[in-house]
Amino acid sequence: MSTTLEIAKQHLQTGHLTEAETLYQHLLQQHPQHPESLHFLGVIAARRGNHEQAIDYMKQSLLLQPHSAGFHNNLGNVLRTVGRLEEAMQSYHTALRLTSQGEEVALAYNNLGICVSQQDDLETAITYFRHALQLQPADAGTYNNLGVALKQQGCLTEAVDSFQQALQYSPNFIDALENLGSAWEALDKMEEAGRCYQQVIETQPDNVAAHCHYYTVLLRTGQFAQGWREYLWRYRPSSPQVTILPTTLQGQRVLLNREQGLGDEIFFLRFALLLKARGAWLAYRGGKKIASILQRQPWLDHWLEESQEANFPVDHSLLIGDLPVALEMDSIEKVPPPLPLSVLPKTVEKLHRQLVSLGPPPYIGVTWRAGTAPEKSVKSDSIHHSLYKEVTPEVLAEILRPLPATVLILQRHPTREDLARFSQTLGRHVHDLSALNETLEEMLALLFLLHDYIGVSNTNMHLRAGLGKTARVLVPHPPEWRWMVEGKESPWFRGFTVYRQTVQKEWGEALRALRRDLEAKFLKKVGWHDNGKGNPLKGGTAGLEALAGRGKLSTLCADSQV
């Protein structure tokens, strides 16, 4: 039996799960109450993702061998994986009571640290990780976990030290390398961050996450030639390549294909005009939401819905996000302006009537959140690479409070609590126009009529840019790559004023600058309030249709510039 058990363990350690399972099942047939066979069948089930079966096997083994600290630790790991954190912590605490062996105690403390960090109790997590390191001071995994918790707590320098300690004991520890890159980014050390991601790529050339982290650093710092090549990895599993387009495309048909979110779609379509300038015939396969806006674009020769196949010959078919590489966009001087957008005159008239009914000008739009909040992970801290952006609604309301303006909420899916807090802080009624986000033509018309727009980066910022308007953008740290690592504006959004969060995650100076700019513009303005009859169209809508066709509607909205 001992020989069979040793062979089974070897199979399990080398990843031969089927062979190990067969031997453990054979042992159970001979010895139905064999605790190790039951437990390691649970381990095998967990590795296959059969977590409930794993828990059942492990609990059976603990009925037979309740004093095994290792069994309790492993059960805790599976419980943690399925989100049963309280039960997992009970298992780890039991393991601590049952053993004085340094390795097992350290393992239990490390696992407890992971659990409480998932409950956002970072202080306790850090304490547990440090207890584990006192017992096993050369454990790279625990140093990595400690570094992630420290970074999430905002202790960036200590986090860097912890990741570097992990790499001292395990030089090719990929998670620690990526996390060290993340910490350097958070400290605005982009060169150091880039070296970390390069090292990961050298070790694992097909590591998609590392390539994506690396392009973020490169694009954020204006290293476009290499940055766009790395950007090709966003959807590809290995060695992506894109053909460089010829400088003359006369007589050639190019099919462009939508990708990513709506904001990215609008952002990358600016490159379509460069294709048109080279003489290309252009077709675009896109989503229904933006169809009507793009179908009146003068550069577009043919429109297809996403589900449609092209029933015409195509010389080049590209994802729009690949256009910077295909067009060899390699410097800030080659940054093209936003795709020009036009509004429907009747929709503008409709929205103007609605605004007048809500209150007098000026009209200011506000958005405080965009993207999807990421899940936190102890293994790898990728929060900084998400596109999630948020500021507190009350902060914006407090800044807008003294302004003689009608404030409009453009936030997508605001909560009732958000709206109540915003209105209470603003000290007056606020108008929720968030539903217009579902109808792009109406949102475009509203953005055209606004006298100012304030918020985090979102689809409406891209629409506003396309209208030739500007906005005020609150940029969290580290910044999304299109807002660059520094500067009061981005080359991608000329005229937009950027208000940046500091490395310490503080908004104080940025918000003070925003307040000064808004007060300078609106508190010194005269003539906004004319008995509620202020008209952003200045003289009615005569000639609106003609101006829409020439793309000059942006000249009709008063005081739209920052």
Question: Could you report the per-residue pLDDT of 92-125, keeping only the tens digit for each?
Answer: 999 999 998 999 999 999 999 999 999 999 999 9
Residue 539 has pLDDT above 80, yes or no: no
Whether the predicted pLDDT of 443 surpasses 80:
yes
Mean pLDDT to the nearest integer, 120-147: 96
Instruction: Respond yes or no on whether the N-terminal peptide bond of residue 478 is cis (omega within 30° of 0).
Output: yes
Task: Name the nearest CA neighbour of 221 among 260, 183, 189, 264.
Answer: 189
CA dihedral 320, 323, 329, 335 (to 10 degrees): -30
Q: Mention every residue, 6+ apart, whose C-beta is less than 8 A from residue 294.
A: 269, 284, 286, 300, 303
What is the length of the chain?
562
- The band of 152, judged by pLDDT with boundaries at 50, 70 and 90, is very high
Distances (CA, A) of 428 to 355, 421, 539: 16, 11, 30
Q: What percentage of the chain exceeds 90 in pLDDT? A: 81
Q: How confident is the model at residue 525 (pLDDT cuts 50, 70, 90)?
A: low
Q: Find the helix packing angle between 393-400 and 508-522, rounded to 10°.
A: 30
Residue 23: pLDDT band (50, 70, 90) is confident
Strands (E), 213-344: 253-257, 281-286, 302-305, 316-319
| Predicted structure pTM score | 0.85
**Residue 378: per-residue pLDDT:** 52
Buried b (16+ CB within 10 A) or exposed e, 319-338: bbbbbbbbbebbeeeebbeb
Instruction: Return the amino acid letter for 44.
Output: I
pLDDT, position 373: 67
Compute the distance between CA of residue 494 and CA of residue 380 in angstroms, rounded to an integer: 35
Q: Which residue would you say has higher pLDDT here, 254 or 543?
A: 254
Among 25-29, 171-175, 338-342, which is the least confidently predicted range? 25-29
User: d(Cα 164, Cα 366) in Å, to the nearest integer?
Assistant: 42
- The tokens 């190019």 sit on which residue? 254
The CB-side HSE value for 102 (13 A sphere, CA atoms) comes to: 7
Span 536-545, mean pLDDT? 40
Domains and CATH numbers, the chain: 2-200 (1.25.40.10), 253-327 (3.40.50), 345-556 (3.40.50.2000)
**What's the pLDDT band for 376 if we cut at 50, 70, 90?**
low
Quote the radius of gyration of the chain (alpha carbons, Å). Answer: 29
Residue 239's pLDDT is 84
Looking at residue 554, what is its pLDDT?
29
pLDDT digits (tens, 9 = 90+) for 472-517: 999 999 999 999 999 999 999 999 999 999 999 999 999 999 999 9
* pLDDT of 530 strictly over 70: no
Cα(532)–Cα(522) distance, rounded to whole angstroms? 16
Residue 550 predicted with pLDDT over 70? no
User: Looking at residue 379, what is its pLDDT?
Assistant: 54
Residue 198 has pLDDT above 60, yes or no: yes
Instruction: State the pLDDT at residue 545.
Output: 41
Residue 383 in this model has a pLDDT that exceeds 50: no
The per-residue pLDDT for 2 is: 72
Mean pLDDT score of the chain = 90
Band of pLDDT at residue 46, cut at 50, 70 and 90 = very high
> Looking at the predicted structure, is the pLDDT value of residue 535 above 60?
no
Q: Would the pLDDT of 526 be above 80?
A: no
Share above pLDDT 70 across residues of the chain, in percent, rounded to a whole number: 91
* Residues 6 or more apart in contact with residue 498 via CB below 8 angstroms: 473, 475, 483, 487, 488, 489, 490
Query: How many Å apart are CA 448 and CA 78, to the nearest integer?
Result: 53
Q: pLDDT band at 1, cuts 50/70/90?
A: low
Nearest to 434 by CA among 456, 409, 417, 453: 409
Q: Residue 168: pLDDT above 90?
A: yes
Question: What pLDDT was estimated at residue 377?
Answer: 54
Q: Which pLDDT tens digit goes with each residue over 362-373?
A: 999 999 999 876
Q: Which of helix, strand or coil describes residue 413?
A: coil
Task: Name the strands in the sheet holding 253-257, side by side, starting at the edge strand that comes first in the sequence.
Answer: 302-305, 281-286, 253-257, 316-319
Helix H or strand E segment including 473: strand 472-475
In this predicted structure, the answer to whether residue 202 has a pLDDT above a threshold of 50 is yes
| Cβ-Cβ contacts under 8 Å for 159 (sequence gap 6 or more) | 147, 148, 150, 151, 179, 183
pLDDT digits (tens, 9 = 90+) for 204-252: 999 999 999 999 999 999 999 999 999 999 988 888 989 999 999 999 9
Q: Average pLDDT, stretch 141-165?
A: 97
Beta strands in 343-447 (DSSP E): 363-367, 369-370, 389-390, 406-409, 431-432
Residue 145 confidence (pLDDT) above 50: yes
**Tokens encoding 442:** 């109406």
Q: Are the C-beta atoms of 495 and 487 separated by less than 8 Å?
A: no
- pLDDT, one tens digit per residue, over 461-483 is 999 999 999 999 999 999 999 99
> How high is the pLDDT of residue 4?
83
